[in-house]
């Protein structure tokens, strides 16, 4: 059987865990060959609160993806979120090592290591050091300095840190699921890989990933991240408000949000009449979509107010020409893009993941932006970086897939 270069991503969210497997082609493109999603357990606002629950959900999603791809997943790139994440921009400076003054990849590694030299508290850990731009002998705006001639190499780097305990709990949950973490990837950075156009990244754009427990945001400028943060409010908070306002169990509130939810009242909502079960199963009441929208709208306005605060804190208020790209499960809520435009004062579009082939239709929803972004991130890091063992030869693998699929139905 020929060697296959595989990339694997596992998105550990508050509402769902999704695993994705891609096969990297010789031309650098990637085809999705496996996908699995399962309801999340043990996560609250993007942070692990039950390691056993998290490990079971990760293992289940990985098994589903591996079964579809015909491989056994051993390691993956894993997303991380939570309000404990914070970012800053830090410079690094080194002298070019070679006598002929040609800048090498080793020089780039050294200058990035220099940017990691920060006064980080003992309870925090650096997750990412992403180069925003390089400066060679005082000339800025350099994207890739390798091969250039110079004496002094500088970098302006975007540094993301997180709480040590939160990071370690996530790593422990992944390890208990039988997987090794190749790298942790901040969810908003991964989502940006999947939904942004090159022109948007260069011009300046805000990625807003509204998930179940958190809203992850990242401002990109000149192609690279400038500011990233996490707001501890998401779709689950809307579900909670609906459960209280409609006096119905949370699972029913989630269903109502998905089937009848709108970002704000509109004429279509007035004609949307449906039944709502009472708490305890004591009967059902008729409800209109207008009331649902009236409950959802204030929560979204509160969320966008928190996003405005983060944009102001970044120093980029009024300086994001590319506008906002919405993704995450809540991006599917009718009317949310129009409300976001009004609340944020910027053009807004809903971003659908793109850039991959194969079974891409399975993950074309904005809800899977981080999942797809992890695979793109892994692909760009280079093929063969994750371990996945084939379940046998070509015929055996094919039969294994058929047998397992049939087993799900019978």
Q: Which two tokens stand for residue 25?
A: 């082609």
The answer as to whether 283 is a domain residue is no
Task: Report the 3 state secondary structure along 185-235.
Answer: EEHHHHHHHHHCCHHHHHHCEEEEEECCCCEEEEEEECCEEEEEEEECCCH
Q: What is the mean pLDDT of residues 307-329?
A: 95
| Rounded Cα distance, 258 and 95, in Å | 56
Buried b (16+ CB within 10 A) or exposed e, 352-390: bbebbebbbeebebbbbbbbbbbbbbbbeeebebbbbeb
pLDDT at position 44 is 93
pLDDT at position 271 is 85
Domain with 145 in it: what CATH number?
Answer: 3.30.1490.110
Residue 391 binned pLDDT confidence (cut-offs 50, 70, 90) = low
Q: What is the pLDDT of residues 247-260, one digit of tens each?
A: 999 999 999 999 99
The answer as to whether 225 is a domain residue is no
pLDDT at position 204 is 95
| Rounded Cα distance, 202 and 225, in Å | 10
Ordered DSSP codes for 289-344: HHHHHHHHHHHHHHHHHHHHHHHHHHT-TT--TT-EEEESGGGGSTTHHHHHHHHH
Tell me, yes or no, whether 76 and 108 share the same domain.
Answer: no
Q: What is the mean pLDDT of residues 136-148?
A: 93
Q: What is the pTM of this model?
A: 0.88
Q: What is the pLDDT of residues 203-222, one digit of tens each?
A: 999 999 999 999 999 999 99
Tell me, yes or no, whether 97 and 67 share the same domain.
Answer: no
Tell me, yes or no, whether 23 and 116 share the same domain.
Answer: no
Domain with 75 in it: what CATH number?
Answer: 3.30.420.40
- Specify whether the CB–CB gap between 261 and 293 falls below 8 A: yes
| Rounded Cα distance, 268 and 271, in Å | 6
The residue range of the domain holding 110 is 86-163
Please report, rounded to a whole number, the percentage of residues in the chain having pLDDT higher than 90.
81
Tell me, yes or no, whether 67 and 102 share the same domain.
Answer: no
Tell me, yes or no, whether 144 and 13 share the same domain.
Answer: no
The answer as to whether 403 is a domain residue is yes
pLDDT at position 142 is 92
pLDDT at position 380 is 85
Helix axes 187-195, 369-381, angle to 10 degrees: 90
| Rounded Cα distance, 348 and 341, in Å | 6
Q: How many CB atoms lie within 10 A of CB 202?
A: 15
* Residue 282 in this model has a pLDDT that exceeds 80: no
* Residue 124 in this model has a pLDDT that exceeds 70: yes
The answer as to whether 233 is a domain residue is no
Tell me, yes or no, whether 179 and 45 share the same domain.
Answer: yes
Tell me, yes or no, whether 13 and 68 share the same domain.
Answer: yes
Ordered DSSP codes for 152-181: EEEEEEEEEEEEHHHHHHHHHHHHHTT-EE
pLDDT at position 247 is 92
Mean pLDDT of the chain: 90
* Residue 409 in this model has a pLDDT that exceeds 60: no
Q: Between β-strands 139-142 and 124-136, what pairing exists: parallel, antiparallel or unpaired?
A: antiparallel
Please give the sequence-ordered ranges of beta strands (E in DSSP) within 115-151, or none if there are none.
124-136, 139-142
* Residue 105 in this model has a pLDDT that exceeds 70: yes
Of the candidates 144, 163, 182, which is a domain's last residue?
163
The answer as to whether 207 is a domain residue is no
Q: What is the pLDDT of residues 2-49, one digit of tens each?
A: 557 899 999 999 999 999 999 998 888 899 999 999 999 999 999 999
| Rounded Cα distance, 268 and 290, in Å | 8
CA distances from 300 to 37, 137, 338 (A): 26, 47, 12
Of the candidates 119, 145, 163, which is a domain's last residue?
163
Give the residue carrying structure tokens 């779709």. 235
The answer as to whether 401 is a domain residue is yes
| Rounded Cα distance, 125 and 164, in Å | 6
- Specify whether the CB–CB gap between 135 and 156 falls below 8 A: yes
* Residue 281 in this model has a pLDDT that exceeds 80: no
Tell me, yes or no, whether 385 and 371 share the same domain.
Answer: yes
* Residue 1 in this model has a pLDDT that exceeds 50: no
pLDDT at position 399 is 39
* Residue 320 in this model has a pLDDT that exceeds 80: yes
Angular region, 388: left φ>0, alpha ψ -120 to 50, beta rest:
beta
Of the candidates 163, 178, 208, which is a domain's last residue?
163
Q: What is the pLDDT of residues 336-388, one digit of tens each?
A: 999 999 999 999 999 999 989 999 999 999 999 999 999 999 998 754 445 55
Tell me, yes or no, whether 46 and 178 share the same domain.
Answer: yes
Tell me, yes or no, whether 128 and 16 share the same domain.
Answer: no
The answer as to whether 55 is a domain residue is yes
Buried b (16+ CB within 10 A) or exposed e, 298-320: ebbeebbeebeebbeebebeeeb
Inter-residue long-range contacts of 194-197, CB under 8 Å, 24+ positions, other chains counted: 194/327, 194/351, 194/353, 194/354, 194/355, 194/369, 194/370, 194/372, 194/373, 194/376, 195/325, 195/327, 195/351, 195/352, 195/353, 195/354, 195/366, 195/369, 195/373, 196/220, 196/325, 196/351
| Rounded Cα distance, 335 and 331, in Å | 9
Q: What is the mean pLDDT of residues 102-124?
A: 94
Q: Report the SS3 class of residue 128.
A: strand
Tell me, yes or no, whether 139 and 32 share the same domain.
Answer: no
| Rounded Cα distance, 108 and 388, in Å | 31
The answer as to whether 340 is a domain residue is no
pLDDT at position 381 is 78
Residue 357 has what DSSP assignment? E
* Residue 393 in this model has a pLDDT that exceeds 70: no
Residue 392 binned pLDDT confidence (cut-offs 50, 70, 90) = very low
How many domains does the chain contain in total? 2
Q: What is the four-CA torsion angle of 45, 48, 50, 51, rounded to 10 degrees?
A: 160
Give the Cα-Cα-Cα angle 184, 218, 169 (nearest 5 degrees): 30
Q: What is the mean pLDDT of residues 238-252?
A: 94
Tell me, yes or no, whether 64 and 91 share the same domain.
Answer: no
């Amino acid at each position: 059987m020929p060697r296959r270069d595989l990339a694997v991503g596992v998105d550990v969210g508050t509402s769902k865990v999704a695993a994705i497997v891609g096969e990297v082609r010789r031309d650098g493109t990637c085809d999705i060959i496996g996908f699995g999603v399962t309801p999340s357990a043990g996560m609250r606002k993007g942070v692990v609160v039950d390691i056993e629950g998290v490990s079971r959900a990760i293992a289940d999603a990985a098994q589903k993806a591996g079964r579809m791809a015909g491989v056994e997943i051993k390691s993956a790139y894993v997303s991380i979120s939570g309000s404990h994440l914070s970012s800053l921009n830090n410079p690094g400076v080194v002298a070019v090592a070679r006598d002929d003054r040609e800048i090498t990849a080793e020089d780039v590694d050294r200058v990035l290591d220099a940017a990691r030299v920060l006064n980080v508290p003992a309870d925090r850990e650096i997750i990412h050091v992403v180069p925003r731009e390089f400066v060679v002998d005082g000339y800025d705006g350099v994207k890739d300095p390798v091969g250039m001639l110079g004496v002094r190499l500088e970098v302006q780097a975007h540094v993301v840190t997180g709480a040590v305990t939160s990071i370690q709990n996530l790593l422990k949950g992944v390890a208990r699921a039988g997987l090794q973490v190749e790298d942790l990837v901040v969810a908003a950075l991964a989502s940006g890989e999947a939904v942004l156009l090159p022109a948007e990244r260069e011009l300046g754009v805000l990625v807003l990933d509204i998930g179940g427990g958190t809203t992850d945001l990242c401002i990109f400028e000149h192609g690279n991240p400038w500011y990233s943060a996490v707001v501890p409010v998401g779709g689950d908070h809307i579900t909670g408000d609906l459960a209280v306002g409609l006096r119905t169990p949370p699972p029913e509130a989630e269903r109502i949000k998905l089937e009848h939810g709108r970002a704000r009242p509109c004429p279509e909502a007035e004609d949307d009449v449906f039944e709502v079960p009472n708490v305890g199963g004591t009967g059902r009441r008729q409800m209109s979509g207008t009331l649902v929208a009236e409950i959802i709208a204030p929560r979204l306005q509160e969320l966008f107010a928190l996003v405005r605060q983060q944009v102001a804190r970044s120093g980029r208020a009024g300086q994001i020409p590319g506008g906002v790209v919405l993704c995450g499960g809540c991006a599917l809520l009718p009317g949310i893009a129009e409300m976001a435009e009004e609340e944020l004062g910027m053009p807004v579009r809903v971003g659908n993941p793109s850039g991959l082939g194969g079974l891409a239709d399975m993950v074309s929803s904005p809800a899977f932006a981080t999942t797809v972004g992890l695979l793109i991130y892994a692909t760009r890091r280079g093929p063969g970086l994750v371990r996945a063992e084939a379940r046998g030869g070509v015929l055996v693998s094919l039969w294994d897939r058929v047998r397992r699929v049939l087993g799900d139905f019978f």
